[in-house]
Amino acid sequence: MNQMNPEGYTTADGRKIGGVLMEMKNITLRFGGVAAITDISFDIREGEIRAIIGPNGAGKSSMLNVISGFYVPQEGEVWFKGYKRGPMKPYQVARLGIARTFQNIALFDGMSVLDNIMTGRLTMMKSGLLSQAIWWGKAQREETEHREKVEKIIDFLEIQDIRKTPVGRLPYGLKKRVELARALAAEPRLLLLDEPMAGMNVEEKEDMSRFILDVNDEFGTTIALIEHDMGVVMDLSDRVVVMDYGKKIGDGTPDEVRSNQAVIDAYLGVSHD
């Protein structure tokens, strides 16, 4: 892997990559006697798009759950923004600046697109339950401010026409976009995407790829993603960590990963000129 300045660097296309935002140190995660992750270390740098790839059963989703705080490893340490992170509740993780999407869409089908996205801002709402219930004073001003931010995200992701549509009526590709919008509504410093392209057609993948790049570029959001589509991974990512049977077998730029024989054997298959 290339040696990088600890203070950051500039990519070939002019984007700024900063210092280490999150570091996974010697992570081991077991379920009973089965090791899902074995002694894996890697970091995620401020402003980059970091991919985690590997065959089915490699431990990718388990690693994403460790990063998100849903799983607590038996061994190793998770560091975020320079501090060692202990066990945390989901709302604490959200307040820390970490948001995620899910492989299986987790939206409220009976609620409108707008209301689904608004739920992404719940941890930021500070008015009391009584004022929220009667929608008065601070609660009224607060909801107006949150709604304005949500409307900007709706415009950004080009879903203005469906903002009042119940999510249950939407096609799959648009549901994935709404879920991305809800995660962005939390204004995360680190955005975790669990197979954002799964089940999409070519056009939908192109749209989602564009939005991911735009989120990274325009919002400066650091992104870590799991994705099976290798073309997408290699086009989007600054760096890629490769897992197989719970172990790390590769880590580097897309070009470095492409030429790593262990990765070729385990996942990419034999390349042909």
Is the Cβ–Cβ distance between 238 and 253 less than 8 Å? yes
Same domain assignment for residues 182 and 211: no
pLDDT score, position 103: 74
Label residue 213 exposed, middle or buried (CB < 10 Å: 0-12, 13-18, 19+). middle
pTM over 0.95: no
pLDDT score, position 129: 44
Same domain assignment for residues 182 and 232: no
Using the 3D structure, point to which of 160, 187, 214 is the last residue of a domain.
187
Query: Is residue 50 one of the residues assigned to a domain?
Result: yes
CATH number at residue 118: 3.40.50.300
pLDDT score, position 126: 58
Q: What are the pLDDT tens digits along the chain (273 aa)?
A: 344 566 677 776 777 788 999 999 999 999 988 999 999 999 999 999 999 998 888 899 999 999 999 999 999 999 999 999 988 887 888 888 999 988 777 788 889 999 999 988 876 665 444 445 455 556 666 677 888 889 999 999 999 999 999 999 999 989 999 999 999 999 999 999 999 988 889 999 999 999 999 999 999 999 999 988 888 888 999 999 999 999 999 999 999 998 899 888 876 554 444
Query: Is residue 273 one of the residues assigned to a domain?
Result: no
Indicate if the alpha-carbon torsion angle 59, 65, 68, 71 is positive or negative.
Answer: negative
Same domain assignment for residues 22 and 86: yes
Gap between the Cα atoms of 254 and 37, Å rounded: 22
Same domain assignment for residues 104 and 159: yes
Query: Is residue 1 one of the residues assigned to a domain?
Result: no
Same domain assignment for residues 106 and 86: no
DSSP-assigned beta bridge partners for residue 84: 79
Same domain assignment for residues 117 and 170: yes
Same domain assignment for residues 170 and 221: no
Using the 3D structure, point to which of 169, 187, 205 is the last residue of a domain.
187
pLDDT score, position 128: 46
In the chain, how many domains are there? Answer: 2
Provide the token pair at 105: 């869409």
Same domain assignment for residues 84 and 105: no
Same domain assignment for residues 55 and 125: no
Nearest CA to 95 out of 118, 64, 126, 138 is that of: 126
Query: Is residue 230 one of the residues assigned to a domain?
Result: yes
Within 10 A of 185 (CB to CB), how many other CB atoms are there?
23
Gap between the Cα atoms of 186 and 183, Å rounded: 6
Beta-carbon contacts of residue 27 (< 8 Å; ≥ 6 apart): 37, 39, 40, 41, 63, 66, 73, 75, 76, 77, 78
Using the 3D structure, point to which of 117, 152, 187 is the last residue of a domain.
187
DSSP-derived letter for residue 122 is G
Same domain assignment for residues 17 and 135: no
Same domain assignment for residues 239 and 214: yes
Same domain assignment for residues 81 and 13: yes
pLDDT score, position 139: 60
pLDDT score, position 226: 93
Query: Is residue 272 one of the residues assigned to a domain?
Result: no
Host domain of residue 79: 8-90+189-267
